[in-house]
Amino acid sequence: MKRLVLRAGPSDQGERLDRFIAARGGISRGAARRALDAGGVFLGGRRCKVASRALGAGDEVVVNLEEAGRAAEAPRPLERSRLLYADAELAFVDKPAGVPSQPTLTTDRGHVAEAASRALGAPLFLVHRLDRETSGVMVLARTRVAARRLSEDFRDGRPAKTYLALCVRAPSPPEGRVEAPLGRDERHPGRRVVREDGEPASTRYRTLSVGASGTALVEARPETGRTHQIRAHLAHLGAPLLGDVRYGGPRAVGERSVPRVMLHAWRLAVHRPSSGQRLEAEAPEPEDFAALRRALAGTP
């Protein structure tokens, strides 16, 4: 992986991002656009996919480019069992916890879209994302036309998403719909909080079970797609996720450690881009999630 770190000077004020990357990075404009499409470009530390974004003097641009030829440490493809469904337009995959959905600020290797592309032997396009520690079902597009239409559907909130969460306690009330706008927490970068001037966000939820330890298995169905929405909303209801230190969740329950943020994307339903047919996939509980749930419930 080749990584470019570029800084805009006074003469670059107002220049398009793709043109700036090509000129200052010494690459073709097509390569610059591919990096943008893949989510490998960061402007001021934040991911940017807008080729026409105008630069300001002093802006820092980080670009992750895949090296030509075979990478020395090429990521392993997803196991075939994690390819839940594939056709000519899209593919459902079961993302492992700990694997990023897309390129990060420091690397363009090992993300889900790349690993799934290797497994299928053809390019796949990212249309939505899961947090690195979240496991579960994602959909990827197999054509640019499908990618555009699926991306529009996710922006409009059309896909039906169902998550399982292990929480420190049951939310209060134990079932309902939380409609609370979310915005940045000015005191804690990277965290979202309920605030009046935030973006509209709504989540339906219900408590499925409460274990002997008092921890709860909660089903959450986000109706909007805000960053950290389920994590922030359940914390707002007094039920932060186990392992989610950022939102007040513990790393251990009694003597049992919690390996990660305990959130699993269980089911996902989308509409086929060409026909509107509803397609649904389900990702089974991963072993780390199921084992902790059983242990805290007091069952074998």
Q: Same domain, yes or no, for 57 and 174? A: no
Q: Same domain, yes or no, for 203 and 262? A: yes
Range of the domain at 89: 80-156
Q: Summarize the confidence of residues 238-242 as an average pLDDT.
A: 98
Going by pLDDT thresholds of 50, 70 and 90, the confidence category of residue 297 is confident
Query: Has residue 70 been placed in a domain?
Result: no
Query: Is pLDDT at 249 greater than 90 in this prediction?
Result: yes
Of the candidate ranges 74-88, 162-176, 189-203, the one whose mean pLDDT is the lowest: 74-88
Q: Same domain, yes or no, for 152 and 173? A: no
Q: Same domain, yes or no, for 189 and 261? A: yes
Q: Same domain, yes or no, for 291 and 174? A: yes
The answer to whether the pTM exceeds 0.85 is no
Domain final residue, candidates 104, 138, 156: 156
Query: Has residue 75 been placed in a domain?
Result: no
User: DSSP readout, the chain?
Assistant: -EEEEEE--GGGTT-BHHHHHHHHHTS-HHHHHHHHHTT-EEETTEE---TTPBP-TT-EEEEEEPPSS--TTPPPPPPGGGEEEE-SSEEEEEEPTT--SS--SS--SS-HHHHHHHHHTS--EE-S---TT-EEEEEEESSHHHHHHHHHHHHHT-SEEEEEEEESS--SSSEEEEE--EEE-TTSTT-EEE-TTSB--EEEEEEEEE-TTS-EEEEEEESS--TTHHHHHHHHTT-PBTT-GGGT--SEETTEE--S--EEEEEEEEE-TTT--EEEEE-PPPHHHHHHHHHHHT--
Q: How many domains does the chain have?
A: 3
Q: Same domain, yes or no, for 293 and 166? A: yes
Quick: pLDDT tens for 196-207.
999 999 999 999
Q: Same domain, yes or no, for 173 and 286? A: yes
Active site (catalytic) residues: 131
Looking up residue 149, the CATH number of its domain turns out to be 3.30.2350.10
Q: Same domain, yes or no, for 207 and 285? A: yes
Going by pLDDT thresholds of 50, 70 and 90, the confidence category of residue 283 is very high
Q: Same domain, yes or no, for 167 and 284? A: yes
CB 136 within 8 A of CB 283: yes
Any idea which residue has 């420190």 for tokens? Answer: 168
Kindly give the pairing relationship between strand 135-141 and strand 263-271.
parallel
- pLDDT of amino acid 298: 76
User: Which of 159, 167, 195 is CA-nearest to residue 276?
Assistant: 159
Output the average pLDDT for the chain: 89
Q: Same domain, yes or no, for 225 and 259? A: yes
Going by pLDDT thresholds of 50, 70 and 90, the confidence category of residue 242 is very high
